[in-house]
Chain A
Amino acid sequence: MAIYTENEARRIMEKALSFSTADACEINLSGSESGNIRYARNSVSTSGHRSNQTLVVQSNFGKRSGTATIDEFDDESLKRVVARAEELAKLSPENPEFMEPLGPQSYDSSVSFVQATADIAPEYRAEVANSSIAPAMAKDVTAAGFLNDSSSFSAMLNSNGLFAYNKETNANFTVTMRTNDGTGSGWVTRDYNDIAKFDAAEASKIAIDKAVMSREAKAIEPGKYTVILEPSAAQGLLNGLQYALDARQADEGRSFMSKEGGNKMGDKIVDERVNIWSDPLHPDAPTATWNGAGQPLKKTIWIENGVVKNLAYSRYWAEQKGVDPLPSPSNFIMAGGDASLDELIKSTKKGILVTRLWYIRSVDPQTLLYTGLTRDGTFYIENGAIKHPVKNFRFNESPIIMLNNLETLGEQARVDGNLIPYMKIRDFTFTSLSDAV
C-alpha cells in the first residue's frame, strides 16, 4: 500500500532529515493509490490501477536551494537523495526570493479522507460502468464514461520543526450519453470525497434524459440571452476568477485585479449578492488543512457582498508589502439561494438552460474575457418551461460581467471539489452557432 500512516511517514522523513547537513532542509512525502475504468461505445475500453510514492528533499545553503526526488525509502536511498539535493543547492544561483522554511504550525484536523472511497475494488468500478451502459442500451443511447478514484496522503517535515500530515480520498465521474442517431448528447459529472454519496445509476439517467431531450435541436440567433447556468457551466468561468486572486500579479499591474497604484482590494467588482469563500473543513467539499508551503488553511472570505475582501499573498510578496501572508484558496465556495432548477426555469420568460461550457480559453486576461462553447444539453426556455433543444453556441464572456448581470442564485452543487450554485444571468454573450452535437 502506498498510503503511509502519520507515524510511518514521520519516521521516514525524520530519518531523511537526520542526514541533512544544509542550513535548512524541508522534506515532503506523498503517495497515492488510484483506480479507474473507462468505457465508450457501450463497452469497457480500459481500466487501470496506479500506485506511487515520492519523497522530495529541498536543501538550502543561504539563498541557494536544490531539490531532489526519490521513490525508495531505505536508509541508503534517503542518504543519497539528501546528498543530491545538497549538491544541487551548492551549484544553484542564489534565489533572492528564497524564504526560510516555516517553524511549527498548528493545523485543524482535516475531514478529507473517507475509508469507503479508499476501499473501492475493481468490481465496483465495473458495476459503475454497467450502471451507465445497461440503461443507455435500453434507450438507444451510447455511453462513454470515466471513473477515477484515489486515496492519497501527503506529509511535510522541515529542519525548523514543522510537521504536517493529511490523508484524502476523491472520486471523479463523468459520462457522456449520445443518441444512436447522432443528434442528441447529454452529460453529467459527479465528484466526492465519500463514494457512498455517489449513485451512478441516478447520474447516468440525467445524462441519458438530456441526450434524448436534446435531439433535433433548433438553431436560434446568437446574441445576448438570459441563461440558467448549471453549476458545472458556471464553474468553468469562475475558475478564471479564482486564478485572478493573486496579489502579486495584481500589484505588478498584470491582472484583472490591478488598478493604478495597487490592486482592487476593497473594490466592489460584482453584484452585492455574490459571496465567495474557501473552507478546507466544509463537509461537502473538504480539502487538506495546509498547503504545499506548510501554511495552515483556514476559512477565508474572498468576495463579500460583491466586494474584494482578500487577495492571496505568497510569503515572499507579503514580506515585500508588509502584510500577512494569505494562502491561495484550496476550494471555491459560492453562496447560493433557495431556488431549485425547476423554480429557476419557471421564473424565466425567455432564456437558455446551459448544462456545461467546454473548451474554455482565456481571450483577454485584462478583462478576464473567456471563450468556449455550450455542450451536451442546451435548451430554450419560454414562459417558464423548456420548449425545445437549441444548437450549441460559442460564448465570449467574462465572469466579472456575468456576476454583475446576476438575476437569481439557486441551490449549490459540488463541482470538481468546489460548491457552486445554479445561477440565472441576464445578457450572457453568445457570439456564434456551432453545428456540434
Chain B
Amino acid sequence: MKRRDFVQLTGLGAGALLLPSTMMGNSIPAEALLSPGMDIVVKKRMADVALNTAKSMGATYADARIGRYLNQYVFTREDKVQNVVNTESFGIGIRVIANGTWGFASTNSVTEDGIKKATEQAVAIAKANSKFQKEPVKLAPVIGQGEVSWKTAVKKDFKDVPVSEKVDLLLRANSAALQNGANFVNSALFMVNEQKYFASTDGSYIDQDIHRIWPTFGVTAVDQGAGKFKTRQAMSAPMGMGYEYMDGLDSEKLDGAAGLKLYRNSYDMVEDATIAAQQAKEMLNAKSVDPGKYDLVLEPNHLGLTIHESVGHPTELDRVLGYEANYAGTSFATMDKWKSGDFKYGSDIVNIVADKTQPGSLGAVGYDDEGVKCKKWDIIRNGILVNYQAIRDQVNMIDQNESHGCCYAQSWNDVQFQRMPNISLEAGKDPYSIDQMIKDVEKGIYIAGRGSYSIDQQRYNFQFGGTVFYEIKNGEIVGMLNDVAYQSNTQEFWNSCVKICDQNDYRLFGSFFDGKGQPSQISAVSHGSSTSRFNDINVINTGRTI
C-alpha cells in the first residue's frame, strides 16, 4: 500500500495515523449529515433502471448499490482542535455478469441517464474481459429477499450530537492526560454512517443503515534529560454502535490485572486518558524485559489483533486460492489441510467463529453487499480447521452451495469482494476469571492493548507488541515491563492455548481501517475474545542502543 494513497495525520502515537484518502469524500456542514438523502421509492426506481438495462444488454445477473456514505472525524491535540471533517459521498455501483464474466462500473450521477450509461459500461467491460476468462463465474443461489431493511441498533445517532459536545469530550480527555503528567496528547473521534440500498436481479431490494464509531488517542510522556519518550494508546475499541459508546457507563467497565480499567460496550475516554498519562510516565522507567520463554496472558483488546492476523486473514478463501498473491499474499491454511478434516489449527479448547450478526460489532449487517442474509459459522471447532470465509462466486470451489455472506465494498465507487467477517474466539466454558488466570502463572507476561504487528505473507511467522506489559512471577503481577515483543508460528501459537477466561471477560477488539485488494479497499471488522493464556512463547527484547 502506497503512502501517497493516504491522508497523513500526525501524532497519534508511534507512527502517524494514515487515513485512506477514499474515506474523505466531499466536505459538508455537520447539519447536512442530517438530511435524509434520496427517497427509498426513487432508489428502487433508479436501481431498476440498472437491472433492466443490464438484462436488456444480455447480462445474466446484475446488482446495483446506491450508497450514501457519511463521515464525521474530529481531531485534537492538547488544548487545540486540529480539524473537524464532515464528508458525504453519494453514487451508484453496478455489477453485472455477461458472457460468464464480471463487469463493474460506477457513477455519481444517480439519474436514469447516468445509471444507463454506467450499466452499459459495466456490461461492455464484462464482455471485453470475457476474452481472458478461463472459466465462467458460478454464483451460489440466493433467494430474493423482496423489500427488506436493516439498521444498526443505535441509541444515539452521532449525527444528532453537536460537534461542540464531541470537541469538549476530546479536550477534556486531553486535559486529563496533561494534568496527569503527559507532555503531549493527540485524540480523535471517527464516526461513520453507511446508507446502502442494494437491488439485484434475484429479486432483492435491501435498505440498510449502518453506524460505526471509534474514539482513540495517543498520550506521550517525554524524559528530555534521559532522551526518552513513551506513548500509551487508548484502550477503546472501534464499535458498530452509536454515540452511546461514549457514555462511559460503570456497568460496562471491567477490572483488568495490574489495576487496568477495561471497557466493554461503553467507553470512559477521560478516565482512560488519565490512566494512560500515568502509565506513559511509568513506562519511561519500567524494567526492560529479559528475553526468553514466557506464558503469555493476553487481554482481548490485544488478542483481537492476533486473531485478526493469524486466523482472520489466512482463512479468507481468495487468499487461499491465490487471488491476493501479489499484495497481501497467500495462506498456509491450504485446501488440502482443510479437506483432511483433521488439521490441528489450535488446541482442543480453541473454537473460532465467523459472525456477521453479532450486535455492537463492526461487521454486523443484515445482508452483505451481494444481498446474502448474514449468519454465523464455524471456522475452527475444537482446534480443527472446518471452514473458510467465502462469497457467492467462491463457495463452489469448496463444494458448498450457500454463500457465507461476507461480501463488501468500501463505497459505491468500488467493486465488492470477499472481506473478513467478525472472527472471534469463543469464551471458555467453565467459570474462570482473569485473577485466577494470573494466579496460575509462574513465569509470564500480561499484555493489554494493541501494539506493533507484523506477519508473513502466508501467515506462519508473526511478531506482536502491545500497549502495556506486566511481568507475572509466581501468580502475581510484579511490575511493568518495556521492550516486549513475542514471536511465534500461527499453528504452534494456537496449539499452546491452554486456558480461556469465561464469558464475563468477553469483549470486542476492532480494526477500523483493514486494507485488502488492489486498488486497496478498507473495511471494518471486530474480533471478540476473553483473556487467554498461551504457554512457552518466545519473547524478544526490542530495546536498542544507538
Contacts and interface: CB of A to CB of B under 8 A. Distances in A.
A45 interface: yes
A436 B134 CA distance: 28
A148 B2 CA distance: 12
A363 B289 CA distance: 14
Contacts of A432: 461, 463, 487, 538
B129 interface: yes
Interface string B189-228: 0000000000000000000000000000000101111011
Contacts of B457: 358-359, 373, 375, 436
Contact of B325 (A40, A47, A84, A243): A40
A366 interface: yes
Given A44-B129, A126-B132, A97 B80 contact: yes
B150 interface: no
Contacts of A362: 14-15, 452
A412 interface: no
Interface string A420-437: 000000000001111111
Contacts of B542: 363-364, 369, 396
A252 B222 CA distance: 8
A431 B125 CA distance: 47
A431 B487 CA distance: 9
Contact of B27 (A69, A253, A392): A69
Interface string A357-388: 01111111111010111010000000000000
Contacts of A364: 483, 542-544
Contacts of A178: 322, 325, 330
Contact of B227 (A69, A142, A259): A259
B460 A360 contact: no
Given A144-B322, A365-B15, A437 B458 contact: yes
For chain A, give the interface size range.
35 or more
A44 B132 contact: yes
Contacts of A363: 452, 463, 465, 485, 542
A142 B519 contact: no
Given A396-B542, A431-B487, A360 B15 contact: no
Given A144-B322, A146-B518, A253-B222, A48 B104 contact: yes
Given A358-B456, A400-B546, A122 B128 contact: yes
A50 B463 CA distance: 37
Interface stretch (A169-177, A225-233, A318-326): A169-177
Interface string B453-481: 11111111101010000000000000000
A127 to B, nearest CB: 12
A253 B129 contact: no
Nearest to A433: B461
Contact of B323 (A40, A249, A417): A40
Contacts of A176: 325-326
A68 B465 contact: no
13 contacts: A40-B322, A84-B28, A92-B84, A93-B167, A258-B229, A361-B452, A361-B454, A367-B546, A372-B454, A396-B463, A396-B485, A401-B544, A434-B461
Interface of A: 36, 38, 40-41, 43-48, 50, 54, 56, 67-71, 84, 87-88, 91-93, 95-97, 122, 126, 129, 142, 144-146, 148, 172, 174-176, 178, 187, 239, 243, 249, 252-254, 256, 258-261, 358-367, 369, 371-373, 375, 392, 394, 396, 398, 400-401, 416-417, 431-437
Interface of B: 2-4, 10-11, 14-16, 25-29, 80-82, 84-85, 87, 102, 104, 108, 125, 128-129, 132-134, 163, 167, 183-184, 220, 222-225, 227-229, 231, 321-327, 329-330, 332, 413, 415, 452-461, 463, 465, 483, 485, 487, 489, 518-519, 538, 540, 542-546
Given A36-B518, A254-B183, A365-B231, 5 more contacts: A254-B220, A259-B227, A363-B463, A365-B14, A434-B456
